[in-house]
């Protein structure tokens, strides 16, 4: 009798203990549902219907592998990815590497601040510049939570905002369910002209983002430390797989909902060429409630993702240059370029496109060192990647880098 009562309790305690260890991947997952994702996914659904469903699925599977390798690097070595690069590179290389990584962080913040500003304009009719300033101030407040209260409260806040984003974008799919046959048909890999290739590259570029790859290694290390080889590390790596899997499942579901909503309700409309017009189309087609929830989801996306992006920028600087700067300064470093773009009147949609192109330059610089380090037995010991994992990781790095080169080429040439 006592055994039967004790057994379920011990199982529950083990499950609860594992659940407490979840969290870092959900912070990193914010990068996968930022305003850049919203723009590219809605554009893909509106222009090509269900054609690119397979891209969402492929991108999130690849992202799951990349994020796990990043977390594993931090847990096993006790170093973030930028710190590992600093440890292996000379001074000039470190400075050049930091310059491109910081540029990528600024481009990330551009997309996220613009997204937040657009959401505030949709909700309260605020000017874009004022919306950008408010987005920056709120994100600074979220960073203060992390700076003063530690990582766990920050994780809870960001995970809560991830839930708001999910509700905001899943609501439209619930209100107007997509075609089941269209969705299944969209799982077959194919393109329809160069524009669909451009959108596919933009979708993947907006999904596998350099700053999330850099950041996750530090998030996992700072949350859990770097345990010695043995059962404790093996358990932590196993729980990290679940953490990444659940976070990527949620982010992938939200991204898929964006595309399915656009494919089901906006397909063929000529006036869906920006986030504002997409919001208007959803409001007109599905009603004010759907439009309101979409705007709220976009606002949560902008606020949460710009906070995480600024956090990543500080971690990149500290890791590569071994320098820590004050919270307000590090927030301003990536925020000011975004505010300048809004102040001079650059079209928000064009700004989002520019940010995605800049992000594309940074993808190989994050992925290639990550795969190289996690495949290095001298660095990883017995937790080195199995050969199959390494082969898959190199394939993922090649595919993502090639598609981002295609994005840059097609955007610059206008083809």
Instruction: Provide the token pair at 139.
Output: 């994100």
H-helix or E-strand spanning residue 190: none
Contacts of 342 (CB under 8 A, 6+ apart): 113, 114, 117, 128, 129, 131, 132, 348, 351
- Domain positions in the chain are 21-413
- Determine contact, residues 357/411, Cβ cutoff 8 Å: yes
Q: How confident is the model at residue 6 (pLDDT cuts 50, 70, 90)?
A: very low
Contacts of 180 (CB under 8 A, 6+ apart): none
The pTM is what? 0.90
Q: Which pLDDT score, from 0 to 100, does residue 135 have?
A: 94
- Determine contact, residues 26/162, Cβ cutoff 8 Å: yes
* Helix/strand/coil percent split, the chain, to 5: 85, 0, 15
Of 134-138, 147-151, 161-165, 296-300, where does mean pLDDT reach its minimum?
147-151
State the Cα–Cα distance between residues 39 and 280, nearest whole angstrom.
14
CATH, range 21-413:
1.20.1740.10
User: What is the rounded average pLDDT of the residues 120-132?
Assistant: 95
Q: Which pLDDT score, from 0 to 100, does residue 103 have?
A: 86
Q: How confident is the model at residue 414 (pLDDT cuts 50, 70, 90)?
A: low
DSSP string, 59-120: HHHHHHHHHHHHHHHHHHHS--HHHHHHHHS-HHHHHHHHHHHHHHHHHHHHHHHHHHHHHH
Q: Smallest Cα–Cα separation from 370: which of 81, 98, 86, 95?
A: 81
In this predicted model, what pLDDT tens digit does every residue of 183-236 receive, in sequence order? 999 999 998 887 888 788 778 877 788 989 999 999 999 988 888 999 999 999
């Amino acid at each position: 009798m006592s055994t039967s009562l004790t057994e379920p309790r011990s199982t529950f305690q083990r499950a609860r203990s594992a659940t407490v260890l979840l969290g870092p991947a959900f912070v990193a997952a914010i990068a996968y549902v930022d305003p850049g994702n919203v723009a590219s996914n809605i554009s893909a659904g509106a222009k090509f219907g269900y054609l690119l469903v397979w891209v969402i699925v492929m991108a999130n599977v690849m992202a799951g592998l990349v994020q796990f390798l990043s977390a594993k690097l931090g847990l096993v070595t006790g170093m973030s990815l930028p710190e590992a690069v600093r440890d292996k590179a000379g001074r000039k290389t470190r400075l050049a590497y930091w310059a491109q990584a910081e540029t990528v962080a600024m481009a990330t913040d551009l997309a996220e601040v613009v997204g937040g500003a657009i959401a505030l304009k949709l909700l309260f009719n605020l000017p874009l510049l004022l919306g950008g300033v408010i987005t920056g101030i709120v994100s600074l407040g979220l960073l203060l939570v992390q700076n003063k209260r530690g990582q766990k409260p920050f994780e809870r806040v960001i995970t809560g905002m991830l839930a708001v984003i999910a509700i905001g974008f899943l609501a439209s799919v619930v209100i107007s369910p997509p075609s089941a046959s269209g969705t299944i048909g969209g799982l077959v890999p194919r393109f329809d002209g160069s524009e669909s290739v451009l959108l596919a590259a933009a979708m993947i570029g907006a999904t596998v983002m350099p700053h999330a790859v850099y950041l996750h290694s530090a998030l996992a290390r700072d949350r859990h430390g770097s345990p010695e080889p043995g059962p404790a590390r093996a358990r932590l790596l196993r729980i990290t797989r679940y953490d990444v899997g659940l976070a990527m499942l949620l982010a992938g579901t939200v991204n898929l909902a964006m595309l399915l909503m656009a494919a089901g309700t906006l397909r063929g409309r000529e006036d869906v060429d920006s986030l504002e017009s997409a919001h208007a189309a959803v409001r007109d087609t599905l009603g004010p409630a759907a439009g309101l929830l979409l705007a709220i989801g976009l606002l949560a996306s902008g606020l949460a993702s710009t906070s995480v992006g600024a956090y990543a920028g500080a971690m990149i600087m500290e890791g590569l240059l071994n320098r820590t700067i004050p919270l307000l300064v590090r927030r301003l470093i990536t925020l000011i370029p975004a505010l300048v773009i809004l102040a001079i009147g650059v079209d928000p949609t064009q700004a989002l496109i520019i940010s995605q192109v800049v992000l594309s330059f940074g993808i190989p610089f994050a992925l290639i060192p990550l795969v190289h380090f996690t495949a290095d037995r001298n660095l990883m010991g017995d937790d080195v990647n199995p050969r199959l994992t390494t082969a898959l990781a190199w394939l993922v790095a090649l595919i993502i880098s090639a598609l981002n080169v295609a994005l840059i080429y097609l955007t610059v040439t206008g083809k």
